[in-house]
Structure 1
């Protein structure tokens, strides 16, 4: 039984690492679409601290959401092992947990995009991404706060889904 638990734990770790890398890649790619004609990598390479703050906030936000989803997968694997990992019920439970994680990441990315779009509309006299290109740290902190706040709210939803499945 201890060996099975260790193997399940190692598999969960591997899945978590893979999903984290994929989610961060997707998040950075989507962020690139949000910024429009700004070359994020170029801004980071020239040491634009403001851009670095916002990119870091995107990564933290995605990590918060992925962490919640991984917790859901851990709960799912534990339940699946109780009914048999390879049984129909066990595979269904694991499948639901993975779908929950994927939906959580997609919702987080969509919510960050929506929040930044709404922020742009609310601050009519301010063009956030132009300010970031200029290195405006105040705007970067504002955007980072919005991004992280949205992630924390999404995380609560994912935790709620995990609890409901429990």
Structure 2
């Protein structure tokens, strides 16, 4: 399942790079042409880029749900998340919702960085697309790794702060209050982490751009 999702994402990223290159070339042609149709190619390329990015986002959404819930199950001692939800365990349902939202918010930072990598790197043509593709893949893997790490850290920190509370037991006992607070903490922390991922993405893009410029000089 995970390999299939990643395969779909990588194929989509390749298409993104090709379309970005086409859009860049069309935009350059527009700048040197006075034809009223000059902007059509660039606009179409931008539209196709948006559609492909949507496909990437949907593929990553499926991955985020599976990965987030699997991580949550491990952190709660291997409980069956869907089994608890089927049993109307509101606490686990709230926590699961918070984890999925957190995962998707952090990974969205990687997608945003990928978009800006493809559109703003200083190279041209196919080279621009290839560099953007590499930067985008790096950004997404960083985002996925950071998302898992951040959720794990939140659990570890909260476990240290709430010495008198057995969180795993409370979740299994359907304590909705602890589900609410954990859900809120997850979503809040994810906003900060997502901003950090976006910053890392910008740094990766700038580094690759400078590296290629240095080699081509």
Q: Same fold (TM over 0.5)?
A: yes
Q: Secondary structure at the match of 2:165?
A: coil
1:57-103 Cα shifts (integer Å, max 9, x gaps): 0011012112221111211222369722x32x431222112211221
Aligned partner of 1:58 among 99, 106, 109: 99
Instruction: Find the structure with the greater CA-based Rg.
Output: 2
Answer yes or no: is 1:43 the counterpart of 2:84.
yes
Which consecutive residues of structure 2, in runs of 5 or more, have no partner in the other structure?
Answer: 1-40, 207-217
2:63 counterpart residue number:
22
Structure-2 separation of matches of 1:127 and 1:161: 35
Q: Bigger shift: 89-98 or 44-53? A: 89-98
Which structure is richer in relative contact order (CA contacts within 8 A, separation 6 or more)? 1
Structure-2 separation of matches of 1:38 and 1:131: 13
1:143 counterpart residue number:
182
Structure-1 separation of matches of 2:109 and 2:117: 12
Structure-2 separation of matches of 1:95 and 1:131: 44
- Displaced runs of 4 or more, over 4 A: none
Structure-2 separation of matches of 1:17 and 1:37: 27
Answer yes or no: is 1:7 the counterpart of 2:54.
no
Answer yes or no: is 1:93 the counterpart of 2:132.
yes
Structure-1 separation of matches of 2:84 and 2:131: 45
Give, in angstroms, the shift of residue 32 of structure 1.
Answer: 1.1
Which consecutive residues of structure 1, in runs of 5 or more, have no partner in the other structure?
Answer: none
Structure-2 separation of matches of 1:92 and 1:78: 10
